[in-house]
Structure 1
Amino acid sequence: MAEPSFDNLPDGPGVEELKVPSFDYAKSFAGSKTPIVIDNGSYQMRAGWASENDPRYVFHNVVTKFRNKKISNSGIVLVGNDAYTDSTARSNIKSAFDSGILNNYDVLENSFDYVFSMLGCEGSSIEHPIVLTELLCAPYSTRKSTSELLFEGYSVPSISYTVDSLCSYYNYETSQSRGPSNKSTGLMVSSGNNSTQIIPIYDSRPLLNYAKRINIGGNDLSDYMHKLLQAKYPSFPVKLTNWHTQYMVHNYTYFSSDYCTELAGYLDKSNLNAHDKMIQFPFPVPTREEKTEEELAQIAERRREQALKLQELAAKSRVEKLVAREQELEELQALKEAKDTYSPSEFLSELREYGLKTIADLDDAISKSVAIIERARKKSLGETLDEKPSLPPECPLVDIPDAELDEAGIKEKRKQKLLKANYEARERARQLKEIEQQKKEEEAKKDEEFRLNRFDQWLDELKNRRLSVLSKINERKQKYKELNERRSQAAQARMKNIADLASNETPPNGSSASSTGAKRRRRNNGSADKEDTFGADDEDWSIYRDISKEEDEEEEEEDKLNLNQCNELLERYAPDYLAGLDREAKNRIQNTLMYRFSEGTQEAILDETAAQPSKDEAWQLEIDTAARQYQMHLNIERIRVPEVLFQPSIIGIDQSGIVETISQILKNIKDHPASEFVKNIYLTGGGFAMIPGLSQRLESELRMVMPIGTDIRIHFAENPLLDAWRGAAKWARSPTFSDSCVTRQMYLECGGDYLKEHALSNRYYKATELQPKVNPS
């Protein structure tokens, strides 16, 4: 299967080449009264001279402060692209807009300072008319505060406010070959960062009474992409910024021609590879240390020394435990032999000191201690046993009765008994080991003959044995998982059993715990007779977990050894079998819907593989695993995010989509046929106009609501980001521009919220006064 398309995502916005101030003001613009055109968008600000075709400065409309005490105690203000030059300053970035409404005039003043200084305007006042764009239906308060800032702070001679979408349409209209004299009719659809404006235009005259604005823009698409990816990758190691999601929306999304149909089959394996887009974030590459043979030998030697130390510690611990058990056995045997020297009541009292009740309990404890000691000797001596049999120790006092010996002789006799028992145990262990070794050799020989004569049957049995061992290992893992959960039924039942055993006066094994535990209970003033509350406290749970870790260690090691042996045989005689198991496991994972949704079509990485990879393969696997943690897969999001424009309910906005809004506008216009407007639909703006597939989707949706045979034509702006500025600059060069300006004298006479209407401006509507409520009485 082909690999999905792959992109490396930058770790942040690339800092553009720092802007250089203009030095031609005195030569070209001083005293010329050339208007300064400023397209004040919530995403970008574009500024330049009206006499030029393109803006001189295009920058992000943000401001931040860079604090460096070595340079300035008050901090340095960074505007536009300069705000991204320092990583510490990015966290303090501010915008003059809030949800598309201009309300932070300190930031706006910093942006104006930046624009005027970069254009070369010096002095306490700006001697050039200002052309400023604004949103459709901009609040009077924003216009009032902006006028106050420009007239009072910069002493500009005049201001002309224009609607950015109308400027864009004006640029389109005047760029046609027929020239600006011919009138045109159409629909202006402008997508911004926070809203979408739809304005019907008849004979080049905007019908603002029928215009509508949808509160969906490029910022809403980025926010929705951010939420989807946070839900999809809740533990992603990189913090997603608004820039990241904005980059993904602009570069990887598209409008689906048939959203529901495409969504239904989007995650099909045959379809997914063509649509899935894998985004790779920068990730730390694991370091591979190449060691020389000498270094590897030193590491191996250190490991051997550590293993020897651990073996010595383990042997020492076993010896200490064995000595303690032998001493306890001597005490129990001495008590039994001295039975006749005690009265019945005194003998029962002595028994209770060891946690026993009757002579039968004493015999049972002695026999169990002997069995435990014998097992411990076998385990301890069997590991270090020499192959050659050792000479038996001399034990002359063993067969002499105690009555014929003094006290020192009796003690020496006991030592000789222990030496003899130790020797006999070693001999038995050696003989058992030889027998076991012979059995293993015979079994290996039979197994080899079986493999040579009946290979298929041998291989089937080997596979079944491996599956059986794996089943036991998995069952044990599940058991440990349940036992480690404190509230699970298995853990609670086991804690109860431990509590019952701990509260029982007669321990089951007759070990040293029997005597010490009984004596401890006697010292606790008979607390054994009270109700045992083991398991009620958190400390009891920690004891329980320690006990759980000590169990089944030998069986677990044996299972791991058996599994390794099975894998080695399979690798040697059936190398494709283990690789086939890995392929099956990967296929099971890759065929799940959730895996395709979050990981795409790439091959799954298994936590535990049956086949053992080589060193190079293991190294590559480590790199792939590290890279996989920093990957995002865009599939359904690529069509779901732009679909918000047609179905705002996806993100919980109670508004009509763009097609319903256009349809409602055309229905409201009674004086002119709807077919005249849809012949010329003009798309512009940086919100979503540049997302592929918009014109095809919009045309197909409009055909569903328009009469059959309606001529629908959709046009795109040549440059959606610069179109509004270019239109405003053309308007500033037109003969009627001077009549559209609010002069300083008008501002002083009429106030800051005064608006002089023109073909590209908003309309002034007098606010209706609230009528006092009439009391019916």
Structure 2
Amino acid sequence: MPVVSQIQRQLDYSLIPSSTPIVIDNGTSYFRIGWAGEDDPRVVFRNIIQRPRHKTTGETVTVVGDHDPALFKYFDCSRSGPRSAFDSNVVYNFEIMEWILDFGFDRLGANGSGIDHPILMTECVCNPLYSRSKMAELLFETYGVPSVAFGVDGVFSYKRNQQLGVCRKDGLAVCPGFMTTHVIPFINGEPDFRGSCRTNIGGFHVTDSLKQLLTLKYPYHMSRFTWEKVEDLKVEHCYIAPDYFAETRLFQKGAPEAESKTRCWQLPWVPPPVEEGPSEEELARKAAIKEKQGQRLREMAEAKRYSKINELENELRGLEFLLRQLDQVEASGIPSFLAETGYVSKQEVESAWTKASQSLRKVKGEQAELEDKPDQSPSEKFNLIDVPDDMLTAEQLKEKRRQIFIKTSAEGRQRAKQRRLEAELERERRNQEDEERRLENPELYLEQLHVKYKELSEKIEQRKRLKTNGGHTNGNNQSGGVGRGERLNAAQRERMRLLTTAAFDRGKGEDTFGARDEDWELYKLMSRDNDDEDEGPDPDEAELIRISSRLQELDAAFVPKLEMGISQPAIEVPKFRPLTEEDYRVVLGVERFRCPEILFNPNFIGVDQVGLDEMAGVSIRRLSCKDQELEDKLTQSILLTGGSSAFPGICERLEAGIRMIRPCGTPIKVVRAVDPVLDAWRGASAYAAALQFRSQTFTKMDYYEKGEDWLRRYQLQYSL
């Protein structure tokens, strides 16, 4: 598990003598501070700050290190991400650094009067002068520190393990950290920074890669893959494969060894409640309510029906009384008699009586009898159709046109109904034949459908190309490009000819088109819909749609062509599938060794740099000692230290990689530090507790007198 922050405020600061130095391991990931000579740091927290706003007042607060999850209840932490003072492994933002130092000194127990203890602070290899001088200025000017010393964290870790007998005086320190990885050669117990090298790859990139893989693999659990949780998964489950490609093939084949190396993380899952059907009492209650509502609707409909019947009966009685009075009035006096009634003629009153009587019979339920036993035969109903127009009055001509329209509409509806019935019967017959053929030989039937679908598709495409190109291509244009006239079909070209002729004739004088009847005949001719596109649905396209639907039912791999402009049947969108217990199980398989592999192959994430094994060879070559005995001493004591060196299998993989780049027979020994995380602080604590430590520091007076340039030549002597 990663180090848990210990942010309890210490209470013994005033009891510590002012001669006791304060040791600070200013790491990119964690900030550790404590007293020299002790085995463990007093305060440990993440080296980040966060500045959320209060949800109610909008006030900004500064949270240093690990934030309390309870803050999310009162503060909006989503808009202000964590910020670090480091760029790679170099401190560049000293405003954030001041917040972190304030918090660290406060947790150590210091008051606001200043720090009166010497300070030993770790830094990166070959720290730039600007960063070192600004850090010294911050410590001297802001906190009043009497003296300061800077040392490399990886060197302190190597020196501590050298004292414990883990490594020798001559060797290599390989330090995979949080943001970078360093290799430092040691000769006679002192680091030789001329042969050191750095790669911008570390534990941050491993965690970030694992987070991205899990997010892509389980997109519906993105909120659960927080940085802290992914860091825990990396520390608990990731390892370095002895042979990456062999391990990958093992998981690809699904071997039993791969299953034994797979780890599962079961997220909390609550099964969805099972919806039980309604009980018999509930069904009976709902049926009673439904019956009661239906009875009420029936009563309302019946009351409305009786009201309508009474209204129509009253209207009929009034019309019958009016007709009896009209029988007693002379023909010449009928218009004046009907002037106050709203009717014009006796025929109109009779027509109104007929409509009212038909409506009354329909409301009373006698319509079926009227349809079964019509009062009039077709010849009596349409008695004016065959009568010449010169033998009819104006009113009769109007009635004749109405009868013609009614008869034509009825016959058209009957023909359309008959066509629909015949088409339905034909469709059923063809479906039955298709089903019989499919049952006889399903494979042959499916193959024939594919062949027919392909033939119809090519036929329709060819016809559309011919229609677009006018049936031919231009001889001067071999690529198929045609002019406007060639893209028109015969009917469209005829229409354009008529329009051109009419415009030419009328252009000679005043535009009087439409004044004569023959002009409108020309208009009808031009407006006649005789294009091929409007003749109705193409039977080939209808057959293609039918075959496409059939293939979608029988062949799951069939994909219809959508580029022909044919309306394909709508594809049913799959419904949302509820998440099961299996979906809440996070499986870590190939991710366990794929993410840490970037320490040896940074090109996996697009970083064009070398890995750990090649860095060791580069560091040895940079020394240019040309002493085989010294090179053998360096490879016999290779120490792995740093937070990212705790992966299982990293020592064996590093030893195998170095053996491939060194001459045959070279003695190679790779060991891991006793505590890769805290050995840097413990080594610095032991160094600061030595009596000779004061000779390795520079005081505030030296800083004021010699200035920042003196820091360029400052070098700590690690062997006291």
Give the TM-score normalised by structure 1.
0.57
RMSD, aligned CA: 6.1
Deviation at 1:62, TM superposition (A): 1.8
Residue 712 of structure 1, CA deviation: 1.4
CA distance in 1, matches of 2:546, 2:165: 82
Q: Within 2, Cα distance between the matches of 1:632 and 1:499? A: 62
CA deviation after TM superposition for structure 1 residue 114, in Å:
0.5
Letter in 2 for 1:216: N
Give the Cα–Cα distance (whole angstroms) in 2 for the partners of residues 230 and 564 of structure 1.
39
Q: In the alignment, what sits opposite 2:80?
A: 91
Aligned CA distance change for structure 1 residues 409 and 493 (closer, same or farther; 3 Å): farther
Partner of 1:21: 9
Structure 2 CA distance for partners of 1:286 and 1:43, relative to 1, 3 Å: same
Residue in structure 2 matched with residue 218 of structure 1 by the alignment: 202
Percent sequence identity is: 27
Whether the aligned pair in 1 keeps the contact of 2:9 and 2:109 (CA below 8 Å) is: yes
Structure 2 match to 1:620: 577
Q: In structure 1, how many angstroms separate the alpha carbons of the residues matched to 2:262 and 2:552? A: 38
1:287 & 1:498 partners in 2: Cα distance?
66
Change (3 A) 1:274 1:555: farther
| Cα distance in 2 between the residues matched to 1:631 and 1:416 | 83
- Tell me the residue number matched to 1:55: 41
Matches within 5 A, 1:344-359: none
Aligned to 1:105: 94
Partner of 2:120: 131
Is the partner of 1:414 in helix, strand or coil?
helix
Within a 5 Å distance, the mapping from 1:509-520 to structure 2 comes to none
Shift of 1:685: 1.3
Deviations 1:685-725 (A, max 9, x none): 12x42344432222112222333333211111233222211
1:732 maps to which residue? 688
For 1:173, the equivalent position in structure 2 comes to 162
Q: Is the 8 A contact 2:251 2:590 kept in 1?
A: no
Provide the secondary structure at the position in 1 that maps to 2:600. Answer: helix
How far did residue 400 of structure 1 move? 1.3
- Cα deviation code 1:270-314 (max 9, x no counterpart): 57994998999999999999798899x99xx9xxxxxxxxxxxxx
Equivalent of 2:169, from 155, 168, 184?
184
Q: Does 1:193 align with 2:182?
A: no
Measured after TM superposition, the shift of residue 41 of structure 1 is 1.4
* Equivalent-residue separation in structure 1 for 2:630 and 2:410 (angstroms): 114
- Asked if structure 1 preserves the Cα contact closer than 8 Å seen for 2:183 and 2:197, the reply is yes
Could you tell me whether the CA contact under 8 Å between 1:158 and 1:744 is conserved in 2?
yes
Q: Write out per-residue CA displacement over residues 144-185 of structure 1, whole angstroms, 9 at most, x where no aligned residue.
A: 2222222222222322222101111122122338xxxx9633
Secondary structure (helix, strand or coil) at the match of 1:641 reads helix
> In 2, are the aligned partners of 1:171 and 1:726 still within 8 Å (CA)?
yes
* Corresponding letter in the other structure for 1:759: Q
Q: CA deviation at 1:252?
A: 7.0
Give the alignment partner of residue 407 of structure 1, picking from 394, 398, 401. Answer: 394
1:155 and 1:250 map into 2 onto residues whose CA distance is 39
C-alpha distance 732-89 of structure 1, shift in aligned 2 (>3 A) = farther
Return the letter of the residue paired with 2:45: F
Letter in 1 for 2:577: Q
2:674 corresponds to which residue? 718
Deviation at 1:429, TM superposition (A): 4.7
1:421 is the counterpart of 2:405: no
Could you say what secondary structure the match of 2:66 adopts?
helix
Report the counterpart of residue 636 of structure 2 in structure 1. 679
**Contact in 2 for aligned 1:168/1:727 (Cα 8 Å):** yes
Count of aligned positions: 563
- 1:673 alignment partner AA: L
Moved more, 748-757 or 40-49: 748-757
CA distance in 1 between counterparts of 2:9 and 2:214 reads 41
Structure 1: how far apart are the matches of 2:36 and 2:595? 39
1:422-442 deviations in Å (ceiling 9; x for gaps): 333344455556666666777
Question: Which residue in 1 is equivalent to 2:601?
Answer: 644
The equivalent position to 2:718 in structure 1, one of 760, 763, 772, is 760
Q: Retained in 2: the 8 A contact 1:38–1:48?
A: yes
Q: 1:567 to 1:231 in 2, by over 3 A?
A: closer
The CA distance in 2 between the partners of 1:209 and 1:31, in whole Å, is 35
- The Cα shift of 1:389 comes to 11
- What's the CA shift for 1:633? 8.7
CA-to-partner distance for each residue in 1:412-464, whole Å, 9 max, x for gaps? 2222222223333344455556666666777788889x59xxx8416557656
2:154 is the alignment partner of 1:154: no
Distance 2:608 2:158 in 1: 31
Aligned to 2:321: none
Distance 1:93 1:58 in 2: 17
Q: Choose from 64, 68, 72 the match for 1:79.
A: 64
Q: Is the 8 A contact 1:224 1:651 kept in 2?
A: no
Residues 304-325 of structure 1 show CA distances to partners (whole Å, capped at 9, x for unaligned) of xxxxxxxxxxxxxxxxxxxxxx
* In structure 2, distance between residues paired with 1:42 and 1:683: 18
Residues 626, 168 of structure 1: alpha-carbon distance in 2 compared, 3 angstrom cutoff: closer
Structure 2 stretches of 5 or more lacking a match? 291-369, 466-479, 497-510, 514-532, 560-569
Matched letter for residue 415 of structure 1: R
2:702, 2:45 → 1: CA distance? 32
SS in 2 for 1:82: coil
2:618 aligns with: 661
- Residue in structure 1 matched with residue 51 of structure 2 by the alignment: 65
Q: Deviations over 1:47-76 (max 9, x none)?
A: 122243222222221223334497796x32
Distance in 2 between the 1:160 and 1:447 partners? 92
Work out the CA distance in 1 between the residues paired with 2:108 and 2:485: 85
Is the alpha carbon distance of 1:145 and 1:561 closer, same or farther for their aligned partners in structure 2, counting shifts above 3 Å? same
Whether the 8 Å CA contact 1:187–1:198 is kept in 2: the answer is yes
Partners of 2:579 and 2:205 lie apart in 1 by 36
Aligned AA for 2:137?
E
Change (3 A) 1:43 1:388: farther
Bigger Rg, structure 1 or 2: 2
Contact 2:180 2:200 in 1 (8 A): yes
Return the TM-score normalized by structure 2: 0.60
Contact 1:190 1:684 in 2 (8 A): yes
* Equivalent residue, structure 2, for 1:770: none
> Which amino acid letter does the alignment assign opposite residue 662 of structure 1?
S
Instruction: Identify which of 162, 186, 192 aligns with 1:208.
Output: 192
Aligned pair in 2 of structure 1 residues 81, 132: CA closer, same or farther (>3 Å)?
Answer: same
| Unaligned ranges ≥5, structure 1 | 1-12, 302-385, 483-491, 509-524, 528-547, 569-577, 587-606, 763-777
Partners of 1:410 and 1:421 in 2: CA distance = 16
Letter in 1 for 2:117: H
Query: What secondary structure, in the 3-state scheme, does the structure 2 residue paired with 1:415 have?
Result: helix
Q: Which residue of 1 aligns with 2:665?
A: 709
**More displaced 10-residue stretch of structure 1: 656-665 or 494-503:** 494-503
Where 1:673 maps in the other structure, the secondary structure is helix
CA distance in 2, matches of 1:159, 1:504: 95
Distance 1:496 1:280 in 2: 68
Q: Which residue in the other structure is 2:384 paired with?
A: 397
Q: 1:416 is matched by which residue type in structure 2?
A: Q
Q: Judging changes above 3 Å, is the alpha-carbon distance between structure 1 residues 250 and 22 closer, same or farther for their aligned structure 2 residues?
A: same
Alignment of 1:300-311 (within 5 A): none
* Structure 2 CA distance for aligned equivalents of residues 279 and 526 of structure 1: 89
How far apart are residue 78 of structure 1 and its match?
A: 1.9
Matched-pair contact (CA < 8 Å) for 1:195–1:213: no
Q: Of 76, 97, 103, which aligns to 1:114?
A: 103
Distance 1:526 1:698, change over 3 A: farther
2:440 alignment counterpart: 457
